Amino acid sequence: MLNKMNPWKKDQNPSGLRERVLQIKEHEVPSHIAIIMDGNGRWAKKRALPRVAGHHEGMKVVRKITRLANELGVNTLTVYAFSTENWKRPKMEVDFLMKLPEEFLGTFLPELIEENVRVEMIGYMDKLPEHTQKAVGKAMEETKDNTGLTLNFALNYGSRAEILDGVRQVLKDVKSGIMSENDLTEEAFSSYLMTKDFKDPDLLIRTSGEIRLSNFMLWQLAYTEFWFTDVLWPDFNEEHFVEAIEAFQGRQRRFGGV
């Protein structure tokens, strides 16, 4: 029987897509998928709509892709929702973006709980508006014991700031004798980052045709497979997600070896 989280209702299943999903599940599925969700504003502009309409539409896509990632057995799905640089955008747009977590989690949280999905966040929580902190905090608290897919929001996140904060903490710990310089390895430094509880991403997806990382997980993406598409995020669908994973499964990952 299909449950609420399962996206494969008959009227939503393009021809052959279900078969491709079953095929994917027979091979290695990326444990951690990270997505730079780009193109909301351009999607809205093409339709003579305000930019916030694109962000609202993009929120629906997060919901669809979370459902599919959960069904595929992905362990972690990290979505780049708001960067530390995005505060430079017009105040009306920023205010709207800060309200989206409330709307998204307010309507989707019961389903996430039912389907054993855990909500997490990386980023600078204390600099978010109180109402945004409350919405995200509530979702994290109510799903903390779930053991399925982790839906990880990169919210007010910037990788350079994260790395600098990690370096500062390492220097502090060396100075105080908690660790020695000789103990500092790549693995040890990773434990000082916001992603310390997550495996590095296996696959990065970026939409909208832009081919850059935009200050996203610069340390963690060292050996990640990248997949870029011209599709704007509000138009991104399950078939595109499947295509990205198929491309991942067709690559040979050497991690610097032969």
Which listed residue (6, 13, 75, 86) is catalytic? Answer: 86
For tokens 């193109």, the residue is 39
Pairing of the two strands 150-157 and 225-228: unpaired
Please, what is the Cα angle at 256 between 255 and 258, to 5 degrees? 100
Alpha helices in the chain (DSSP H): 17-24, 40-46, 51-72, 91-114, 130-143, 159-176, 186-190, 238-249
Are the CB atoms for 43 and 235 separated by under 8 Å? yes
Please enumerate, by residue number, every residue annotated as part of a binding site: 38-43, 51, 55, 83-85, 87, 89, 206, 212-214, 225
Is 197 strand, coil or helix?
A: coil
Distance CA 72, CA 52 (A): 31
Instruction: Respond yes or no: is residue 235 known to be catalytic.
Output: no
- Residue among 69, 66, 83 at smallest CA distance from 25: 69
Please enumerate, by residue number, every residue annotated as part of a binding site for Mg(2+): 38, 225
- Residue among 7, 32, 20 at smallest CA distance from 225: 32
Residues 6+ apart with CB under 8 A from 124: 84, 156, 157, 161
- Residue among 221, 225, 154 at smallest CA distance from 190: 221
Distance CA 237, CA 193 (A): 31
Which listed residue (38, 152, 156, 202) is catalytic? Answer: 38
Instruction: Respond yes or no: is residue 173 known to be catalytic.
Output: no
Catalytic residues: 38, 86
